[in-house]
């Protein structure tokens, strides 16, 4: 059974959890969306998207957004959707 922290995007061995919005933004990144597309999709400004990405990177100890996505996917914090060809 997953505890509440795990559901919100906690990485093993850390107390820092991703917020629901950070999980959502990283999930959209993982599925190939760019900052502007995420901004339009969520109805928020690009700078806000960048802020969520930056906060998630810090919490995941990731140097880049790509590394944050890789860590989040590897730890089952986000899922990659199957896209139609």
Could you give all domains of the chain from N- to C-terminal order, each with its CATH number?
A: 18-74 (1.10.10.10)
Tokens representing residue 82 in the block: 């199957």
Give the integer Cα–Cα distance in Å for 42 and 6: 23
pTM: 0.78
User: Locate tokens 């989040």: which residue?
Assistant: 72
Q: What is the pLDDT along the chain (85 residues), one digit of tens a residue?
A: 334 444 455 655 444 689 999 999 999 999 999 999 999 999 999 999 999 999 999 999 999 999 999 999 999 998 777 655 5
Give the pLDDT of residue 82.
66
Distance CA 8, CA 16 (A): 10
Torsion sign, CA atoms 6, 11, 13, 17: negative
- Write the Ramachandran bin of 78: left for phi over 0, alpha for psi from -120 to 50, otherwise beta: beta
């Amino acid at each position: 059974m997953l505890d509440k922290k795990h559901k919100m995007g906690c990485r093993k061995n850390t107390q820092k959890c991703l917020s629901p919005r950070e999980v959502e933004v990283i999930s959209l990144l993982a599925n190939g969306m760019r900052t502007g597309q995420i901004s339009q999709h969520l109805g928020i400004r690009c700078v806000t998207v960048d802020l969520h990405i930056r906060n998630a990177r810090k919490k995941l100890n990731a140097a880049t957004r790509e590394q944050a996505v890789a860590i989040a996917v590897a730890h089952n914090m986000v899922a990659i959707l199957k896209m139609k060809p």
